[in-house]
């Protein structure tokens, strides 16, 4: 049983063209209480989407990676001991999702492990290796009004556009977070109510192993208040796979953390600007790169284009100008804003675009591709009590 609707702020973007869909949005929910209760609310509120996510994820694993359902479920549970060791609150939420949506616990764990269960076969030139997401972070000196910004074009298989949600998650014992999430997945990208933002990119390297799944790293970081503490939290766990995290806090610090399962490198802003795509940039980790040449080229084009546009607009950047930048389709087929047909061999598109103002507690989110949909604004509800839970479509 779900209480009344969550309060949130939704404002349309400026300068919309006649072909932009003004109406399509992701479902928005608010979940609060213990972690088990949060997971249960999540599962109950979005049960249909959670089931679709499970079915689509299993089908894609079978079709693209040759991993059948029973093998995938068994492999998923092998990661649970590391979740219990390093961040047991995630296990509480995953159990709650399973209970609320009517899944088995292995099915709920599978939803957290898309990449690890389809780990690329780097010795196979025909194997699929994802090249997903372009991120940015801007310190106050680079923006028009001194408000720092962080965000990304989120690139995943196109069906994620149909099963993603936005959620305000308000635990009893941790900072509240505002996140974009595939239904049933307890961590992806977003901000917390302390002014920290964490976004992420796919990286490909050798040495993937059992450990804490990569998707959980962003919300693990969001249990902290500062970039430095968030990086320390990520470094303290046994990581299962490679991940790039870009972070920004309310104290005026931004950083990018490139990781392998066992190593990492920190990149700092240049004149208040950071950007990343899907290849290792740090010199110390260049030798770890295992993406095929085609994907590295695509990643470099997108990174160069993002840097070019941010440099052109430096000092004038705000959430609205970032909307224009994230809709950019120059350099086709290696575009910042990706759509079906750009690469006939891939089903990846920009399924969502997110711009965060962490110090204001605000996300601007467009269903993807963003050149076809309007950005909407979502904010923390700032409800005083954290004991009543809300999980309803806004």
Judge whether 91 lies within some domain: no
Model pLDDT, residue 258: 98
Residue percentage of the chain with pLDDT more than 70? 90
Judge whether 136 lies within some domain: yes
Is it the case that residue 11 has pLDDT exceeding 80?
Answer: no
Judge whether 317 lies within some domain: yes
The predicted-structure confidence for 298-317, as pLDDT tens digits, reads as follows 999 999 999 999 999 999 99
Closest CA to 135 of 341, 370, 336, 348: 336
Model pLDDT, residue 317: 97
Sign of CA dihedral 121, 123, 126, 130: positive
The predicted-structure confidence for 55-100, as pLDDT tens digits, reads as follows 999 999 998 888 999 999 999 999 999 999 999 999 999 999 999 9
Residue percentage of the chain with pLDDT more than 90? 84
Judge whether 108 lies within some domain: no
Judge whether 373 lies within some domain: yes
Is it the case that residue 176 has pLDDT exceeding 60?
Answer: yes
Judge whether 150 lies within some domain: yes
Q: How confident is the model at residue 344 (pLDDT cuts 50, 70, 90)?
A: confident
Burial of 47 (0-12, 13-18, 19+ CB in 10 A): middle
| Segments of 76-188 assigned E as strands | 134-138, 149-157, 164-171, 177-182
Rounded Cα gap, residues 347 and 161, in angstroms: 12
Q: How confident is the model at residue 387 (pLDDT cuts 50, 70, 90)?
A: very low
The predicted-structure confidence for 135-149, as pLDDT tens digits, reads as follows 999 999 999 999 999
Judge whether 25 lies within some domain: no
Q: How confident is the model at residue 382 (pLDDT cuts 50, 70, 90)?
A: low
Which domain does 199 fall in, by range?
Answer: 129-379
Model pLDDT, residue 21: 85
Judge whether 69 lies within some domain: no
Is it the case that residue 220 has pLDDT exceeding 80?
Answer: yes
User: pTM for the full model?
Assistant: 0.91
Q: What CATH number is associated with residue 263?
A: 3.60.60.10
Model pLDDT, residue 83: 98
Average pLDDT over residues 285-295: 95
- Helical spans, DSSP H, in 191-226: 216-221
Question: What total number of domains does the chain contain?
Answer: 1
Average pLDDT over the chain, rounded to an integer: 91
Q: How confident is the model at residue 120 (pLDDT cuts 50, 70, 90)?
A: low
């Amino acid at each position: 049983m779900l209480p009344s609707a969550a309060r949130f702020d939704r404002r349309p973007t400026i300068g919309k063209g006649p072909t932009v869909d003004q109406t399509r949005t992701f479902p928005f929910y608010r979940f609060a209480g213990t972690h088990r209760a949060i997971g249960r609310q999540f599962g109950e509120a979005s049960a249909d989407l959670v089931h679709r996510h499970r079915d689509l994820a299993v089908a894609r694993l079978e079709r693209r990676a040759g991993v059948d359902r029973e093998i995938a479920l068994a492999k998923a549970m092998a990661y649970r001991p590391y979740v219990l060791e390093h961040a047991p609150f995630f296990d509480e939420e995953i159990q709650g999702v399973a209970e609320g949506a009517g899944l088995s616990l292995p099915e709920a764990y599978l939803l957290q492990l898309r990449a690890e269960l389809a780990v690329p076969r780097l010795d196979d030139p025909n194997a699929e290796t994802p090249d997903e997401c372009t991120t940015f972070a801007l310190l106050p000196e680079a923006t028009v009004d001194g408000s720092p910004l962080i965000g990304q074009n989120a690139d995943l298989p196109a069906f994620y556009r149909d099963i993603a949600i936005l959620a305000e998650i308000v635990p009893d014992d941790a900072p509240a977070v505002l996140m974009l999430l595939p239904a049933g997945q307890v961590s992806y990208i977003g901000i917390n109510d302390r002014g920290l933002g964490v976004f992420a990119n796919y990286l490909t390297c050798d040495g993937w192993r059992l450990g804490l799944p990569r998707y959980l790293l962003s919300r693990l970081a969001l249990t902290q208040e500062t970039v430095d503490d968030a990086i320390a939290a990520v470094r303290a766990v046994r990581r299962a796979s490679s991940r790039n995290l870009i972070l920004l806090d309310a104290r005026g610090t931004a950083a990018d953390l490139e990781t392998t399962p066992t190593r990492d490198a920190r990149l700092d802003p240049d004149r208040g600007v950071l950007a990343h795509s899907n290849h290792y940039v740090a010199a110390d980790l260049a030798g770890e790169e295992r993406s095929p040449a085609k994907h590295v080229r695509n990643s470099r084009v997108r990174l160069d284009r993002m840097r070019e546009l941010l440099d052109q607009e430096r000092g004038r950047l705000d959430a609205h100008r970032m909307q224009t930048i994230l809709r950019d389709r120059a350099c086709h087929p290696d575009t910042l804003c990706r759509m079906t047909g750009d690469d006939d061999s891939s089903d990846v598109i920009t399924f969502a675009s997110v711009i965060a103002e962490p110090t204001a507690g605000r996300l601007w989110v467009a269903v993807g591709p963003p050149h076809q949909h309007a950005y909407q604004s979502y904010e923390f509800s700032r409800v005083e009590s954290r004991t009543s839970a809300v999980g309803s479509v806004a």
